[in-house]
Each structure stands twice: as structure tokens, then as C-alpha cells.
């Protein structure tokens, strides 16, 4: 006679010990800058420094549920390592209401000079990420002849496409650096660039590679790149302020 079947034990999904995290009751949107030597801070390094600043400033953060809770932080399109910026954005979720300016000042005091929290506003509407359609960059090309810079810009804009190579974790990838460029203006040895947000993203170094390929423009000194603005692309080529709708 066969042995009686052993009854199956009903599996139970493990749940974290303790009460769930408190709900988010307020969202703040922040604009921050990367300046000077801190432009070499990677996005991962900034995220670590920012989370330390949140703890030191005793900001009452909301957290995700689960076994590894994370503070409620959403980043929008961080600038590449080595690039300065006056217009980086993020959103945080708070478990208690706080004065936005008090939060801004406390966080700014807990971050090193050069990682500067410039503005904090309450999130009044949704769709924050949809407000970022393009970026305005300034590229300083010290040591080059202004006429050579102007000629390279003209050649780039005249091209139907400018294929450049970018090294990725999956190897070399060819992208069209021309397709995403809205405006490209030369003034002496400074270039102002407005580029649409695309997939894959076209970065300032892609445009610099394109200027080299179409006109042989090769800076003798490392270019200094700064992001000046992000926002929706307006009909005149300028960008709207992503925080304008939240200031009331």
C-alpha cells in the first residue's frame, strides 16, 4: 500500500517586519547646480551626497515599501560627469509638510560648495518629466580661432546628417548628432547649443565630435561645457522654466 500523500504547505509571501512607511503628504521640486570642480561629480556620487544631506538636514522623507526601503526621490535627466550645470532637477516626497525654502536652505548647508540647491517649490501639478523637452548648453572652446569655430558651425548646420560614434557598454554605436540640434550659434570661441531630448540622447560631446568630423575642429584645450537650462521647447527656440507652473 502506498504511503498517504503529504499535504502541501501553503506558501506565504514574506512581509517586512514593522509598520509600513508613512504616506507621502507633500512633494517638493528642486533645482540644483553643479559648479567648479564639482562638475566632475557623477550622478551616482551626487545621489549618495544628496541622501546624506537629507539625513543630516532631518528632512522627513517618504520611503518605498518592502525589504529595502528607499527615499522617494525622482531625478530628471542628470548632466554627464565633467559637465557643469545651472539647471538640474529632482523631486522628493515628504512624509510631513515642510516650508520649501527651509528645506532648500537646510539641504544646501549640508552639501559641499559647488553642489548648490538653488530653488525648492511645492509640486502643484503632475507631469513634471513631460516639461523637459530640450536642453540649452554653452560650450567654451578656448584656444581656437573664432573664424574656424564659425565655419565649423556653419558646416554642421548645412549637413543633412552628422553620424558620430559613441562608445557604449554594448560597443560602438552610430548616432546622428545633427537630427536633435535645434539651434547652434557661434560667438567668438563660445558655442550655444539647444538640443531636443531624444533616444538615444544627443550630448554636447556628440556635437563636438560632429564639428570635428565635418570641419576638422579640434580644440587644443578641454572644452568647458555648462547646461544653462532645461524645459519645454518654445516656438522661438527658447526653453520654458520647468518650475513656473509650481510657483503659483
pLDDT-based confidence at residue 11 (cuts at 50, 70, 90): very low
Residue ranges of the chain that CATH labels 3.30.70.580: 26-130
- CATH code, 134-231: 3.30.70
Buried-state track 146-185, b at ≥16 Cβ within 10 A, e below 16? eebbbbbbebbeebeebebeeeeeeeeeebbbbebbbebe
Range of weakest confidence among 6-20, 73-87, 107-121, 156-170: 6-20
Q: Between 167 and 3, whose confidence is greater?
A: 167
Range of weakest confidence among 7-21, 43-57, 126-140: 7-21
Q: Is the pLDDT of residue 214 over 90?
A: yes
Q: Is the pLDDT of residue 239 over 90?
A: yes
Q: What is the pLDDT of residue 19?
A: 74
Helical H segments across the chain, by residue range: 43-56, 100-109, 146-158, 204-215
| Topology of the domain comprising 26-130 | Alpha-Beta Plaits (3.30.70)
Q: Is the pLDDT of residue 1 over 70?
A: no
CA distance 28 to 175: 36
Q: Is the pLDDT of residue 18 over 80?
A: no
pLDDT (mean) for 87-94: 98
Amino acid at each position: 500500500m502506498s504511503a498517504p500523500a503529504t499535504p502541501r504547505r501553503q506558501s506565504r509571501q514574506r512581509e517586512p517586519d514593522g509598520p509600513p512607511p508613512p504616506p507621502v503628504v507633500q512633494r517638493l521640486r528642486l533645482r540644483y547646480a553643479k559648479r567648479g570642480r564639482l562638475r566632475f561629480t557623477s550622478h551616482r556620487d551626487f545621489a549618495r551626497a544628496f541622501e546624506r544631506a537629507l539625513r543630516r538636514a532631518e528632512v522627513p522623507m517618504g520611503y518605498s515599501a518592502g525589504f529595502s526601503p528607499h527615499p522617494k526621490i525622482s531625478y530628471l535627466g542628470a548632466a554627464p560627469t565633467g559637465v557643469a550645470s545651472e539647471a538640474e532637477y529632482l523631486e522628493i516626497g515628504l512624509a510631513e509638510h515642510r516650508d520649501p525654502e527651509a528645506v532648500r536652505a537646510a539641504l544646501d548647508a549640508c552639501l559641499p560648495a559647488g553642489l548648490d540647491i538653488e530653488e525648492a517649490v511645492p509640486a502643484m501639478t503632475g507631469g513634471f518629466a513631460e516639461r523637459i523637452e530640450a536642453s540649452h548648453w554653452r560650450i567654451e572652446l578656448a584656444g581656437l580661432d573664432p573664424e574656424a569655430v564659425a565655419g565649423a558651425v556653419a558646416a554642421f548646420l548645412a549637413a543633412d546628417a552628422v553620424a558620430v560614434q559613441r562608445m557604449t557598454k554594448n560597443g560602438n554605436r552610430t548616432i546622428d548628432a545633427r537630427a536633435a540640434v535645434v539651434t547652434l550659434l557661434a560667438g567668438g570661441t563660445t558655442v550655444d547649443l539647444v538640443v531636443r531630448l531624444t533616444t538615444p540622447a544627443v550630448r554636447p560631446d556628440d556635437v563636438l565630435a560632429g564639428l570635428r568630423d565635418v570641419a576638422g575642429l579640434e580644440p587644443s584645450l578641454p572644452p568647458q561645457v555648462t547646461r544653462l537650462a532645461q524645459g519645454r521647447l518654445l516656438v522661438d527656440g527658447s526653453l520654458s522654466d520647468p518650475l513656473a507652473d509650481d510657483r503659483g
